[in-house]
Amino acid sequence: MASSDEEADTMPESVSTYHFANDKDEPISFSLLPIRWRESKNLDDEKKNHMIFLKGSVDNGLRTIYKQVIAWKFDLSNKTPQISVLTKEKCWMELGKPRKSYEIIIRTVLITVHCLHFARWNPEASGKSVWDYLSKTFSLYEHRPSQNDLVDHLDLIGEAVQKENSLAKCKDDLDNSKPLL
């Protein structure tokens, strides 16, 4: 059985009320990190051109953390998309609800991941369906989701279509913005 000191040092699996900051403590998007598409035994190959730190609450708000992160990934296979970041200590942490003031910084990447999630599960959906879904999902945001939110992430969308077999069915729709987008 692990000692209490060892238990205190274990990495939590998820973080909420979070934000990301650079080494000057300026808020930035986690999407500036390299994306990890597949698990790899060699975790030292991540680009190290960005010093990005995760700050947030863990253990149901009982503890705060401050960790350097080196990569991110998303999982579209669940009921809702899950986004995780890889800490410098090589542990994945799932992102929960961000700080309210930070939502505007990551809004477009969240919309993009949700759009990909919808496309994966609804490859025959119409453009109206996807925008209805996104509008409902992001109803608490000041501005409704639009195609402009996806523009900065066209490379991410293209890579996701290539890497995720489940998106291959809707590749033409995603590439040509018809009918899904």
Q: What's residue 26's pLDDT?
A: 96
Tell me how far apart the alpha carbons of residues 55 and 108 are, in angstroms, rounded to a whole number. Answer: 20
| pLDDT higher than 80, residue 135 | yes
Give bridge partners of residue 56 from the DSSP assignment. Answer: 65
Q: Global pTM?
A: 0.84
Domain boundaries, the chain: 4-98, 102-176
| pLDDT higher than 90, residue 104 | yes
Q: How confident is the model at residue 11 (pLDDT cuts 50, 70, 90)?
A: low
Token readout for 34 is 């390299």
| pLDDT higher than 60, residue 2 | no
Q: How confident is the model over 148-162, as a mean pLDDT?
A: 93
Q: How confident is the model over 140-158, as a mean pLDDT?
A: 92
